[in-house]
Amino acid sequence: MANKRFNWGLLGPGRIAQQFADGLASIDDAALYAVASSNPERGKAFAEKNGGEKVYTSYEALVNDPQVDAVYIATPHTMHFENTMLCLNAGKPVLCEKPLTVNAAETRKLIETARGQNVFLLEALWTRFLPIYAQIRQWLDEGSIGDLHLISSTFGFSIPKDKDERWLNPELAGGTLLDMGVYPISTSQWVVGQNPESFGAKAILSETGVDLMTSGVLKYPNGVISQFTTSFLSNDVNDMFIYGVNGYIRIHANYWAATRATLSVNDTEITVNRPVRAGGFEYQTEEAMRCIRAGLLESPGMTHAQTLANMELMDHIRSEIGVRYPFEQ
């Protein structure tokens, strides 16, 4: 029997929201039902372009619409806590952009609320749900490259140096760690299957006090080291390499959005391509729908405990590199 159409509501129709809408359009039994924006023109234009039936100028009104089955939150990091709390308290399942919140204390409260209210909550770490990552998982599980010892990655883009943009704005929890660092941290967590037991980090800070570049080294209980750099200063190679004693796996750029990976063992290489159906967000959206329909409160692909561990680590790294946001003083 066909599923009932799944109605998504969207808060904050900005840049990344379009990629969510593109992915959603490729899912047969789901639709962008409602859009809420503080700016009526922006909300209307986004809904018209993407087939949204309803446009709200208040986030509360969307969340209280009984036709909305789940909400995707695409506002800046600093608003995720308040927006997600609004949804959870109204009993609406949430797929919220990364990072789930700006610190672990907020994440802990959201997880407690989701469980208390019996409502699904997922941080939108779409990378884990991409088809190429299923191939990488298979190579790792088969032990193709032997015991792992090193993960190495760069995530760097030269961004416009506009102080008002959220990237450099401390009031909006700017900086590379929260924006990009979630990818190497959560992908390493996914590869190793553990959380780091120790770390080191160095950063270059902006005049506004956020990190323009952060380099981190994570050490896992099983001995694996993950070294990563996130940067607003240069256009980097943006591959991830996973090294084992018998060879390596290369996740081709951009590794967090990858469609291609190479397995290299004893000088023999196999490259696999796994194109995405739309922009790539469709897989995490399908996973959220699958979990919600099954009555789950979290996705086994990105659990609450994993999100919380990553937020705790980012708190510690921020403390190490000296990034403290004004709203945390």
Q: Which residues bind ligand NAP (CB under 6 A)?
A: 12-16, 37-39, 42, 74-77, 79, 97-98, 124, 126, 166, 172, 179
| Residue (39 or 198) nearer to ligand NAP, CB | 39
Report in angstroms how near the CB of residue 276 gets to ligand NAP at its nearest: 13
Residue whose Cβ sits closest to ligand NAP: 14
**Which residue's structure tokens are 């946001």?**
325
Given the residues 98, 109, 161, 219, the one annotated as active site: 98
Q: Please give the Cα distance from 54 to 66 (Å, whole number).
A: 12
Task: Show the tokens assigned to 120.
Answer: 């699904």
Report in angstroms how near the CB of residue 91 gets to ligand NAP at its nearest: 22
| Residue (39 or 67) nearer to ligand NAP, CB | 39
Q: Please give the Cα distance from 281 to 28 (Å, whole number).
A: 14
Residue-by-residue DSSP string for 174-186 = -SHIIIIIHHHHH
Indicate the residue type of 292. I
| Residue (14 or 209) nearer to ligand NAP, CB | 14
**Burial class of residue 41 (count of CB atoms within 10 Å of its CB; 0-12, 13-18, 19+):** exposed
Residue 98 appears among annotated catalytic residues: yes
Report in angstroms how near the CB of residue 250 gets to ligand NAP at its nearest: 21
| Residue (39 or 118) nearer to ligand NAP, CB | 39
Report in angstroms how near the CB of residue 96 gets to ligand NAP at its nearest: 8
Q: Please give the Cα distance from 94 to 120 (Å, whole number).
A: 6
* DSSP H helices in 195-302: 282-293
Active site residues: 98
